[in-house]
Structure 1
Amino acid sequence: MAAIGERLRVLGLVTAGVVVLPAEDPDAVRTAWRRLPPDTGLVVVTPAAAEALGPELLEQGDPLTAVMPP
């Protein structure tokens, strides 16, 4: 499991064993997505990260994605 998004929104997930990839702008979000470990099954993204990635990536199904509530 991994999380991508603004540092303050995703940092707390590290305590649950989530691979946290802080990304503060759209380019950093896309870079973090490309750097996901190959065995990642679920990615939690912030709403801003979801917007940066676009629906094509989020709906592809592999890895499964979930968008945090605003």
Structure 2
Amino acid sequence: MMGTVAVIGEPGRMEWLRLAGALVLPAGDAEAVRSAWAGLGDDVSVVILSSAAAAVLGPVSGPVTVVLPEVDDDERQDR
């Protein structure tokens, strides 16, 4: 049985992961990041964090957690 992949990060920057079936939890500030993390269901087995969300949470235990590297706007336009 596969678990859910959740994504926590800045609104508008993580939405593309919804196309892959991820549960996207927009979090625009530190309180929202902590709230999203605390509200993860037992079915979540992987969490993808933006760099900013990872900085807020620091080291965590629980589901497997991956941090997306920061990409600046110039790099994004080159793609």
State the TM-score, normalizing by the size of structure 2.
0.79
- Greater fraction of residues in helix: 1
Task: State the partner residue of 1:29.
Answer: 33
Larger radius of gyration: 2
Task: State the partner residue of 1:2.
Answer: 6
Q: Which runs of 4+ in 1 moved over 3 A?
A: none
User: SS of the counterpart of 1:41?
Assistant: strand
Could you list the per-position Cα deviations for residues 25-70 of structure 1 after superposition, in whole angstroms to 9, with x for gaps in the alignment? 0100000001112110000000000011112x1xx2x200000011
User: SS of the counterpart of 2:14?
Assistant: helix
Task: State the partner residue of 2:46.
Answer: 42
Task: State the partner residue of 2:58.
Answer: 54
State the TM-score, normalizing by the size of structure 1.
0.89
Quote the RMSD (CA, aligned, Å). Answer: 0.8
Task: State the partner residue of 2:20.
Answer: 16
CA distance in 2, matches of 1:8, 1:50: 17
Name structure 2 gaps, 5 residues minimum.
71-79
How many percent of aligned residue pairs carry the same amino acid? Answer: 47
